Structure 1
């Protein structure tokens, strides 16, 4: 029997990582970014999906992540220890372009109602107020896979229109993604500390699929900068289990990503 926990027993980042990790399926190939996405993918691999394969855009296939050694970058050398294979980054992107990757998993600074992600800059292009890390392989990943995004739920992040599309979601909604030359993949799930969202099959607008325990739809909407849709049946997620929290804290004992 598994034991459930109260919301005071875990942090928002732990909640996001656990809920996102539950979305992954054994046997999938996942392009994971560092931070919460990598933590969630590694948690899934240790817990329910032992045949999950993680890829890094830096060229590593099947990294062996030791507890307490989550890499700060996909290009960091500790990623290569006991990995299945190390390739040039262009070769890993070729695997993506040839259709071998099932899921893309990343975060972002901004996301809009159609799942477009911004990790380039905040403000106008000619005079941004904040410069961000940029695309890396984000454009390739979001253009060719089914995407999971993990991020804190704040109105400044969930905006009506992103300042710049670094990683395309459903572009302008409906069939605009396919019309722009991206017939495969698309934004699939957005996991936050308040809810799990998907996208309407027709309009491609973001919709709430499930709320975390103790969270209301009004609370989610209050923290979102655009009108949210509701799924026909909005569920409630299962709280993090004690064994999930134990695993995640073993992987990140210094709370680098889960404080």
Structure 2
């Protein structure tokens, strides 16, 4: 991977992760995306090399071109810049379950060696240490999208030997179990972290380290994984961000910061309506 790159000291691990994820999106791709890093990566791809991609959010926005990153799937920015807005059932039945989604972009709190995801609880389900946002549309996306890209930071707390709860199925126990259960989508085809990129191995479908970032050692990545991490025989080094990729990503984040700060100030200035007075008859 030889592209003109910036100094290795001029970008953050989060920026590298976002840019590496964005590079995986192909022009013309129909992409079902969530909030956070997946949204940033998908919009970076749209603003750089994949201007004709179709961006879909769970709220019903199709072909949206947000000027800033949405705070939630219900952010008005998505509807205002969309080619169309359709009811939620149509998003799932016509687009997702009918196999019209090329890529589903997901995050998670935990992932295991076979790409199964937890976004529900940390700890026991009935008395969890932390109750997370929950499944949302993730299980359906993981089930039906032609392929899944997962984006999350890598540490022993996120890359675990056993999930506290399985929210979305990856390869289940591997070795063809997903196919035996007749799950239509191909499952997680890339896991992009702040340290490198993992892909499922042929046959076992166990996540295997196939690429690392500059100045990140294999030993460091292994130490950040909660199971004995398999490493590909041929290890790629992902090229550092280009100046253009960093400029577009930072401009996007800056616009987002300014827009949301402005909205917060306006909401604080808006007086709350006085409580209705009750008059006894």
TM-score range (shorter-chain normalised) is over 0.9
Measure the CA separation in 2 of the matches of 1:151 and 1:70: 18
Check conservation: 1:249, 1:255, Cα contact below 8 A. Answer: no
In the other structure, the counterpart of 1:141 is 141
2:83 corresponds to: 84
TM-score with structure 1 length normalisation? Answer: 0.94
Q: 1:2 to 1:203 in 2, by over 3 A?
A: closer
**Deviations 1:7-31, CA, capped at 9 Å, x for gaps:** 3211221111100000000011001
Residue 74 to residue 255, structure 1, CA distance change in 2 (3 Å) = closer
Per-residue CA deviation, residues 76-117 of structure 1 (Å, 9 max, x unaligned), is 222111211101111111111001000000111000000001
Report the equivalent of 1:18: 19
Greater radius of gyration (CA): 2
1:151-230 correspondence runs (5 A) = 151-230=152-231
Q: CA contact under 8 A between 2:70 and 2:78: conserved in structure 1?
A: yes
Q: Per-residue deviation at 1:179?
A: 2.5
Which residue matches 2:116? 116
Which residues of structure 1 form unaligned runs of 5+?
none
Equivalent in the alignment of 1:102: 102
Structure 1 residue 254: Cα displacement: 6.5
- For 1:122 and 1:7, locate their aligned partners in 2 and report how far apart those are by CA, in whole Å: 35
Counterpart-to-counterpart distance in 2, 1:209 and 1:255 = 33
Higher relative contact order (CA 8 A, sep 6+): 1
SS of 1:253's equivalent in the other structure is helix
**Cα displacement string for residues 124-180 of structure 1 (whole angstroms, at most 9, x for unaligned residues):** 112111000001100000011211011111110000011111111000111111233
**1:8-57 Cα shifts (integer Å, max 9, x gaps):** 21122111110000000001100111111111111111111111111101
Aligned-residue RMSD, C-alpha:
1.5
Are 2:71 and 1:49 equivalent residues in the alignment? no
